[in-house]
Amino acid sequence: MPFKILTVDTNLCTGCRLCELVCSLNKEGECNPRKARIRVLKLDKEGFDFPLTCQHCGEAPCKEICPVNALARDSNTGAIVLDEKICIGCRACTLACPFGVIRYDPPKGVSRKCDLCEGDPKCVTFCETHALRYERLETAETRKYAEVLKVLIRPLSRSRSETPLNQK
């Protein structure tokens, strides 16, 4: 069974940070962006907002480096999940993550990361602009391919329409 992935359309993200609030409420019982498993990278000067979350890597460095095997791949969702009961808070996974999205939770003494809400990511459910999607990889790749084709074809079709008929 192909797993789904979390994708982001940066053209639709407004930087409202609702995803952070929903995530922290769902996971920690409070609306506190610092406790969210998703983070919105805001570059105000550039007007760019980008939600960052675990990519659940195929060869997950966080999983490989964990000395107590507190990280494992969920067989239903494909997500790399953290078992807080096993985690010893050594923070090796936070250093190994190439995206910097695993965070250490000092009060709990353990790491915290996205687990895709067991296959029903709340950040996606509540994203009002639909910038966040939970979809099959093939669907995301097909959509991206179509977007790239539109960009490539637009100048080509424009140049053809501007060419005089006797030169075609």
Residue 136 in contact with residue 18, Cβ under 8 Å?
Answer: no
Contacts 24+ apart (CB under 8 A), 66-73: 66/92, 66/93, 67/92, 70/111
Domain boundaries, given as residue ranges, for the chain? 4-136
Residue 167 predicted with pLDDT over 80 = no
Considering the domain 4-136, what is its CATH architecture? 2-Layer Sandwich (3.30)
pLDDT tens column, 69-106:
999 999 999 999 999 999 999 999 999 999 999 999 99
pLDDT in tens, 94-151: 999 999 999 999 999 999 999 999 999 999 999 999 999 999 888 888 887 888 788 8
Query: Which pLDDT tens digit goes with each residue over 3-62?
Result: 899 999 988 999 999 999 999 999 999 999 999 999 999 998 988 899 999 999 999 999
pTM (global) more than 0.85: no
Q: Is the distance from CB of 13 to CB of 53 less than 8 angstroms?
A: no
